[in-house]
Structure 1
Amino acid sequence: MENKTFPQSPAVAETTVLTSQIFLNHWQGHRGLTRRVIEAFPEDKLFTYSIGGMRPFGQLVIEMLTMAGPGVRGLAHGKWDSFEDVEKKLRGATTKAALLKLWDESTDEINEYWPQITSERFQEIEKVFGQYEGPVYWAAMYFMDNEIHHRGQGYVYLRGLGIEPPPFWDRH
C-alpha cells in the first residue's frame, strides 16, 4: 500500500450507497468463500506448493489473517500492533486445522470490532499498522481487496493441483 492523496468524501450527506453493515456482510461473504478455499487445499501442499515463485497459500492465509481481525480492531480504536509482530504470532499455525481455527477467531474479532467503527471514523485518516496512511474506509476496502487477490492465487494453486475450487460467485 503506497501513500496516496485521497479526496475528501462527503460525510454521508449524499445518498448512501453502502451501509457499514452491508459492507461487512459482503466482506464476510468473501471470507466464507476464502475459508472454503483453505478447506479445499491438501494439507501436504498448503505450505509448500507454489507456482511461478508466488508464496505458498498457507503463507498468504497468514497475511490475510494478519490484516483482518487486528486491522479492524485498529480501525475501530486507532491502536495498532506492528504488522510484523502480528504476523510473527500467527506463523506458528502450520496446519490446515490451525489456519481454520484462526480464520474463525478472526471472523469473530471482525464481527466484534466492526460495529465500533462510527460513520465519522470511516472518513478519518489513519496510519494502518503504523505504515500506510489513508482514510479508514480505504483501509477496510484494502483488507477485503487483499483477501480477494490472494484467494485468486489459491484458485490458481488448486487448479494446478487438479482440484476444482469452490465457485467464486458462491459467497454465502
Structure 2
Amino acid sequence: MSTANPSVEKVAQVILPAELLAHWQGHRTLTRKVIEAFPEKDFFEYSIGGMRPFSKMVDELLSIAGPGMKEIVSGKAAAFTEAVAHGNSKAKVLALWDEATEEINANWAKIGVDKFHDSIKLFGQYEGTIQSSILYFVDNEIHHRGQGYVYLRTLGIEPPMFWDRN
C-alpha cells in the first residue's frame, strides 16, 4: 500500500480523460432532453418552493461549462456572470447549449492528461484543480437537472429516464 500523498500522484488514473468527457457529455445530452421536455412558457416562468425557473438554472449551467472550460485552457480569468442572451426563446437556449457542447469538446482536446491535477482559480474566485472544477460542473448540472425533473413532474410531464444519456 502506498503511503505517498495522493494529490502528488498525478500519473495514476482511474478514468481516462476521454471517458470523463463522454460521461459529462452524456449528462449534457440528458439535460438537453429535460430542456426540450418543458413547454416554452413554463421553461421560463414556472417555479415552486421559491426556486428559480428552470431557464435560470440552465443560464447558470451555460455560464459555467463553456466559459469555465475556456478559462481552464486559456488561463485567463473571466468574471462570472449568469447573463445569457437568449431572448426567452427555448430554441435559442438549445442552440446555445449545443454551442457550449462544441466549445467543451474543442477545449477538452487542449487539456493534457498531466494537467488535470493542476491548481486553478476559476472565475477569479473558485479554487481547486482542473479535475475538481470539471467534477463540480457535472455535479452542479445533475443537481439542477434534478430540480427540472421535479418541475416537470409537478407539471404532469414525464421526464426523460435518468439513465438515457444517448
What interval of TM-score do these two structures reach, taking the shorter chain for normalisation?
Answer: over 0.9
Gaps spanning 5+ residues in structure 1: where? 1-6
Matches within 5 A, 1:3-82: 8-12=7-11, 14=12, 16-82=13-79
Report the alpha carbon displacement of residue 24 of structure 1 after superposing the two structures with TM.
Answer: 0.2
Report the alpha carbon displacement of residue 79 of structure 1 after superposing the two structures with TM.
Answer: 1.4
RMSD: 1.2
Q: What corresponds to 1:129 in structure 2?
A: 123
> Residues 39 and 10 (structure 1 numbering): CA distance in 2 closer, same or farther, change over 3 Å?
same
TM-score normalised according to structure 2 size: 0.93
Matches within 5 A, 1:67-146: 67-84=64-81, 87-88=82-83, 90-146=84-140
State the number of aligned residues. 161
Moved runs in structure 1, 4+ residues, more than 6 A? none
TM-score normalised according to structure 1 size: 0.90
Gaps spanning 5+ residues in structure 2: where? 1-5
Q: What corresponds to 2:160 in structure 1?
A: 166
Q: Give the % identical residues.
A: 55
Counterpart CA distance in 2 for 1:35 and 1:80 is: 27
SS of structure 2 residue aligned to 1:55: coil
The answer on whether the counterparts of 1:62 and 1:91 sit within 8 Å (CA) in structure 2 is no
SS of structure 2 residue aligned to 1:133: strand
